[in-house]
Amino acid sequence: MSALYELSTLAYCYEGAPALELDAIQFRPGEFVAVVGPNGAGKSTLLAVLAGLRADYRGSCRFRGLEVKRWPRREMARAVSFVPQSLRLEFPFTAEQVVLMGRTPYCDGLFEAPEDHRAVERAMQVTDTLALRSRDFRTLSGGERQRVVLASALAQEPQVLLLDEPAAFLDVKHQIALHRLLRRLCGEGLLVIAATHDLNLAAAYSDRVAVLNHGRLAADAPPAEALRSDLIRSVFEVNAHLWPGPSGRPWIRYEV
């Protein structure tokens, strides 16, 4: 299948300091790509560029053949959704209202149509958030918030789901549930790109691991090839032992 995203000689600078410099990388429909790397390696920047939140990048980042910065915002929002690292609200929106905002790129009237409410219902069901619907978003726990924000992104009915450390605030049960859900969505053709610090989750669930270091691509391969102990030592500066797990996916234990 043809690539959804094609990046070439992409560069992004924060105040003159290069945060991201990628030669060439592609993302295809149905892939689950884990983006890993130490703090400040450029993971969040990459996701923000892909989501169209950083239009001042240099080089080329094409989505469905058209430069991301040339996409009309509303059209882009129907195809690409973004789950930020965390969301804090000042005002008393309910969880359902937060999810409903995901329908914005499809709505023209003042209030949402019945089909929008059906999409919200589905999104809240798969993220196990229906019980939270009328709760004030600010009273939810970190994990509950994360799932509500994911529901809002799914309500956009996107082709691409970009997630910035989606498992950071989740307990083990919900980490696994989230990754199973993401895998299932990939099976339906969704492209999932998730930045993560958890190499074991990346190894267990992704099709490809893109390793970033100082804004550059250090590896881009299936988990068993990308996550090797020499690479982990040079990129993350820790000693790690790898065991082959089921279906060839490595299991990583750090030296403490």
Partner 1 sequence: MRSEPSAWGRLARLLAAGVLLAVAAALVLPLVGSARLDYGRALAGLSLDKEILFYARLPRVLMALVAGGALAEAGVLFQALVRDALADPYVLGVAGGASGGAVLSICLGWTEWAGLSATTLSASAGAAAALFLVVAIATQGKRMSSFTLLLAGITINSISAAILLLLHNVADFSQSFVVMRWLMGSIERVSYRTLAWLTAVVLATVVYLFARARDWNLLAVGEEWATARGLVPSRAILAGFCAGSVITGCVTALAGPIAFLGLIVPHALRLRLGADHRLLIPCAFFGGGVFLALCDTLARTALAPAEIPVGVITALLGGPFFIWLLRSRRRSLWL
Contacting partner 1 (CB under 8 A), which of 41, 98, 235, 252?
98
Contacting partner 1 (CB under 8 A), which of 53, 130, 218, 224?
53
Contacting partner 1 (CB under 8 A), which of 24, 87, 131, 238?
87
The structure tokens 């992104």 sit at 153
Angstrom distance (rounded) from CA 9 to CA 107: 36
85 contributes a contact to partner 1 by CB under 8 A: no
Binding pattern for the stretch 60-79 against partner 1, x by CB under 8 A and - elsewhere: -------------xxxxxx-
For 196, how many CA atoms within 13 A lie in the half-sphere containing its CB? 26
Residues 6+ away with beta carbon under 8 Å from 20: 10, 11, 12, 42, 45, 46, 49, 57, 212, 215
Buried b (16+ CB within 10 A) or exposed e, 194-224: bbbebbbbbbbbbebbbbbbebebbbbeebb
Contacting partner 1 (CB under 8 A), which of 42, 102, 166, 250?
102
Smallest gap from residue 13 Cβ to partner 1 (A): 14
161 contributes a contact to partner 1 by CB under 8 A: no
Residues that bind partner 1 (CB under 8 A): 48, 51-53, 73-78, 80-82, 84, 87, 89-94, 96-98, 100-102, 104-105, 107, 110-114, 117, 136, 138-139, 156
